[in-house]
Amino acid sequence: MHVLVARIGKPHGIRGEVTVQLFTDNPEARFAAGEVLSIQDFDASSAVGKLVPSGELTVASSRWNKKILVVKFDEVKSRNDAEVLRNSHLEFDSSLDEDDTSFYEHDVVDLPVYLISEVPEGELPSGEALGKVTGLQAMPTQDLLLVELAPNGEEVMIPMVEELVPEIDLDEGFVLIDPPAGLLELAEHSEGEDA
């Protein structure tokens, strides 16, 4: 599956470097020298297609300039080339990333969610799930797991930290959570107010 990692922004300098708006939580790996990224919705007849006939860009180098990642691609030689690529979206094929132990939103959406306190240690969850994963929301400090509660359809946001989301098992297909006291009750209470 192709995963969106960045949007190319404005040129940086005169040697073809570009700034990128990141959509990945692992920019050091995605923009390591030698990494190959595909241009999303590539059109060989476009100006981008004339510059990069393969539809792929190879990272030559990347560096941080304050809080902005600046990237140099092998195929981009000048500021004019960089300008052609502005607003292009970059993606990579997650199925080729064998060393990556992380997961992506499409891996977890619709997985059943259980309270860790209701699953005996060493056993797989069984019975009715608390809810299901509806998405992941990337945030500056930490990502949020979005969970739709089964009883009322209310959505809660749980910070993706090990203390609150101790296990995501993609092989068995479930998520265990340990939410802070009151989080689930707060969602139920707000649903009651809307009724």
Please tell me whether residues 92 and 113 are part of one structural domain.
no
Q: Where residue 95 falls among pLDDT bands split at 50, 70, 90?
A: low
Across the range 38-63, mean pLDDT stands at 94
Decide which of 40, 74, 96 is a domain's last residue. 96
Q: Which of 64, 96, 128 is the last residue of a domain?
A: 96
Q: Given pLDDT bands bounded at 50, 70 and 90, which one contains residue 175?
A: very high
Q: Which of 114, 121, 177 is nearest to 144 (CA)?
A: 177
Mean pLDDT of 21-45: 90
Q: Does 137 share its domain with 178?
A: yes
Question: What pLDDT is attached to residue 186?
Answer: 65
State the alpha helices, DSSP H only, in 69-195.
79-85, 105-108, 183-194
Flag the least confident range among 13-17, 126-130, 136-140. Answer: 136-140
pLDDT of amino acid 1: 65
- The tally of domains found in the chain comes to 2
* Mean pLDDT, rounded, of the chain: 86
What's the rounded Cα separation, in Å, for the pair 194 and 181?
A: 22
Q: Is 169 in the same domain as 125?
A: yes
Residue 47, C-beta contacts closer than 8 angstroms, at least 6 positions apart? 84
Helix, strand, coil in percent for the chain, rounding step 5: 20, 35, 45
Share of the chain above pLDDT 70, in %: 88
Q: Exposed, middle or buried: residue 28 (CB in 10 Å: 0-12, 13-18, 19+)?
A: exposed
Average confidence (pLDDT) over 140-144: 74
Q: Write the CATH number for 77.
A: 2.40.30.60
Q: Say what the pTM is.
A: 0.54
Give the domain-ending residue among 75, 96, 117: 96
**CATH number of the domain encompassing residue 144:** 2.30.30.240
Q: 19 and 82: one domain?
A: yes
Whether 190 has a pLDDT exceeding 80, the answer reads no
14/80 same-domain check: yes
pLDDT band at residue 191 using 50, 70 and 90 as cut-offs: very low
Range of the domain at 109: 105-194
Which residue type, as a one-letter code, is found at position 136?
A: L
Same domain for 67 and 123: no
